[in-house]
Structure 1
Amino acid sequence: MLRNVAVVLLDGVHPFELGVVCEVFGIDRSDEGLPVYDFAVVSAEGPTLTTHAGFTISTPYGLERLDEADLIAVPAGESYLGRDFPPALLNALRRAVDRGARVLSVCSGVFLLGAAGLLDGRRCATHWRHADELALQYPRAAVEADVLYVDEDPVITSAGTAAGIDACLHIVRKEQGTEVANAIARRMVVPPHRDGGQAQYVERPLPRSRCDTVGEVLVWMEEHLDAEVTVEQLADRAHMSPRTFARRFQQETGTTPYRWILRQRVLAAQRLLEATDETMDAIAGRTGFGTAAVLRHHFVRTLGTTPYMYRRTFRGPEAA
């Protein structure tokens, strides 16, 4: 169960990536019925550190605080690609994983996990600018250069800046369910979910406008998850040719229409499994999968567990 979260800092930490972890796990949202985490900022190099932006951070917590954390987050930092890390910190991270804790890196924080040997034999992500160097320094890691985040539980790694938000919300969703993750996302005014496998680089990251967007089609797709649609039909709704629509969709969402709607269907199924007693066949029909067998197939492929076990986890054996 995720209750205790620590974010570990080194000199030169990047404030934004630190702020991402603080925003998701370090704010008391109990007024909305959301979980409150026992949260601490931990220094690995003395009580006062200098950030990449030039200001200082002081914290009373040292490495001993990591021994009780369920999740240890490592934000990005200046010179993490080429520096030596404190041996005591590397040992603390290894001990944490050995006792069952998770570790999360944001952007170049992954180099610390590599130095601790936690990437060996695992897939991992980082900012696309650092991917080649990460693969060079840690050849036993399987670096995925163009994804937002990778969950190789208990090691979760994410790409630059905003991808850290996606990874943090992914962990919340995994531990405490879709409704909790979505509620936190609403408070942060960020998208509630982006697939880890979504591309980092969006060719045309421009604001959506009414005359040049697939946004209205996305809304329609989300409201009609039970409908069988083709790219040609979606393109017609967007007043584009199928080829132009497919290209625009990829540019604006980082994925294909098929993958996008498939993930939204799984998310909808998650919400129904968590919040209702509907049968698997009923949920399959409402979410566009048609049958319980097809729902189970895609649920397992996406989440690594069955709908039955997912409901049992969130609602107990009787509900399942």
Structure 2
Amino acid sequence: MSFTRVAIMLFDGIPLFEASVPIAVFGERRPGMPEFDVRAVSAEGGPIRTDIGVTLAAPHDLGAVDDAELVVVPTWRRPSDGPPPAREALDALRRAHRRGATVVGLCLGTFVVAAAGLLDGRGATTHWRYASLLAEMYPDVDVRPDVLYVDEGDVLTSAGSAGGIDLCLHLVRRTYGPKLAGDIARSLVVPPHRAGGQAQYIDHPVPPPSTGDPLGETLDWALRNLDRELTVGTLSARAMMSRRTFDRRFRQATGTTPAQWLLHQRVLQAQRLLESTREPVERVARSVGFASAVALRPHFRRRVGVSPSAYRETFGAAPDRTPVSRT
């Protein structure tokens, strides 16, 4: 569905940057771009006080949602802070959806779309830090915590701040084509396209082991020896447990199997090395316990969403530019 009228629903207590994301994409007049009618809406009435105390005076009330073709909830206050979304705002979202408008929740704005019941039985995402809370609060939503955005046709959701930009550009691309999306991306100086299925870049730190805890000490040892061949037998012997007891306690402590945990930790360490060193991918792979870069690649892509080389290109350390001495 094409769109030119865009309603952006703003709530009290929201982060300022996230609130500005759809305005940055749709609000600026650019050559060759449709004349978007962007309406900043006070979803709860009156001025909007952001989380850092800056007050915004939105020029529109909820009536501006009633004929918008695209309705965006760009963010939300932290779900544990303040009252739930106002009933009038949720009713406006439901009416918009019923008459065929596209509804979008960016980052924590997904919580508002879910509260309106528009995500029941659908896939959705939000910032990874709040994904488990979203799943707990709205069990009928298929929460996908490790993607940038989810396109369900008439309802779309995204992860954090950059994911919101990606989703807005995706909407332009699917409606008006890649050239216009690319022009806007260049104007914003952001990548022109990141696929929705690409993973959010999430670090899962391992808490330090408690003194005298054989399982925790074994996991700590394993993290320092990822380049070695590590088996369940090796780890259970290190913890001085039978394999069966070790496997049971391991699942209780981590929620996964030893093999899956090791694989995940190896990929995480590969990420860190790709970020902080210029070592060849082959050497990185061997240093974290893979036989080769070829063996690392499918596991890395499955968990991170891109290849090791593409990840380094985005997050890697800059090449050493220290002048070479000619003496």
Alignment pair present for 1:47 and 2:46: yes
3-state DSSP class of the match of 1:107?
coil
- Report matched runs for 1:166-177 at 5 Å: 166-177=166-177
d(CA) in 2 for partners of 1:131, 1:94:
23
Q: Indicate the RMSD between aligned Cα atoms, in angstroms.
A: 3.0
- Report matched runs for 1:133-148 at 5 Å: 133-148=133-148
* Residues 251/154 of structure 1: CA separation in 2 closer, same or farther (3 Å cut): closer
Instruction: Report the counterpart of residue 182 of structure 2 in structure 1.
Output: 182
d(CA) in 2 for partners of 1:252, 1:127:
17
Instruction: Report the counterpart of residue 63 of structure 2 in structure 1.
Output: 64
Amino acid at match of 1:16: F
3-state DSSP class of the match of 1:91?
helix
d(CA) in 2 for partners of 1:183, 1:210:
33
Report percent identity of matched pairs.
46
* Residues 115/59 of structure 1: CA separation in 2 closer, same or farther (3 Å cut): same
Structure of larger gyration radius: 2
Instruction: Report the counterpart of residue 16 of structure 1 in structure 2.
Output: 17
Instruction: Report the counterpart of residue 7 of structure 1 in structure 2.
Output: 8
d(CA) in 2 for partners of 1:196, 1:81:
27
- Report matched runs for 1:113-262 at 5 Å: 113-201=113-201, 204=271, 211=278, 241-243=292-294, 246=297, 250=301, 254-256=305-307
3-state DSSP class of the match of 1:73?
strand
d(CA) in 2 for partners of 1:163, 1:205:
22
TM-score (norm 2): 0.65
d(CA) in 1 for partners of 2:158, 2:47:
26
Does the CA-based 8 Å contact 1:169-1:181 persist in structure 2?
yes
Q: Structure 1 residue 196: deviation in Å?
A: 0.6
* Residues 126/205 of structure 1: CA separation in 2 closer, same or farther (3 Å cut): farther
Does the CA-based 8 Å contact 1:125-1:157 persist in structure 2?
yes
Does the CA-based 8 Å contact 1:205-1:252 persist in structure 2?
no
Q: Structure 1 residue 70: deviation in Å?
A: 0.9
d(CA) in 2 for partners of 1:88, 1:252:
40
Q: Structure 1 residue 247: deviation in Å?
A: 7.8
d(CA) in 1 for partners of 2:179, 2:280:
28
Q: Structure 1 residue 124: deviation in Å?
A: 0.4
Does the CA-based 8 Å contact 1:10-1:45 persist in structure 2?
yes
Does the CA-based 8 Å contact 2:11-2:77 persist in structure 1?
no
Moved over 6 A (4+): 205-210
3-state DSSP class of the match of 1:129?
helix
Q: Structure 1 residue 64: deviation in Å?
A: 0.2
* Residues 256/96 of structure 1: CA separation in 2 closer, same or farther (3 Å cut): same
Structure 1 unaligned spans of 5+: 215-230, 232-240, 261-320
d(CA) in 2 for partners of 1:158, 1:205:
25
3-state DSSP class of the match of 2:129?
coil
Instruction: Report the counterpart of residue 111 of structure 2 in structure 1.
Output: 111
Q: Structure 1 residue 13: deviation in Å?
A: 1.3
Q: Structure 1 residue 152: deviation in Å?
A: 0.7
d(CA) in 1 for partners of 2:64, 2:273:
42
Does the CA-based 8 Å contact 2:27-2:38 persist in structure 1?
yes
Q: Structure 1 residue 19: deviation in Å?
A: 1.5
CA deviation vs aligned residue, 1:279-312 (integer Å, no higher than 9, x gap) = xxxxxxxxxxxxxxxxxxxxxxxxxxxxxxxxxx
Structure 2 unaligned spans of 5+: 203-267, 283-291, 312-327
TM-score (norm 1): 0.66
Amino acid at match of 1:113: V
Q: Structure 1 residue 243: deviation in Å?
A: 3.8
Does the CA-based 8 Å contact 2:197-2:305 persist in structure 1?
no
Q: Structure 1 residue 35: deviation in Å?
A: 1.9
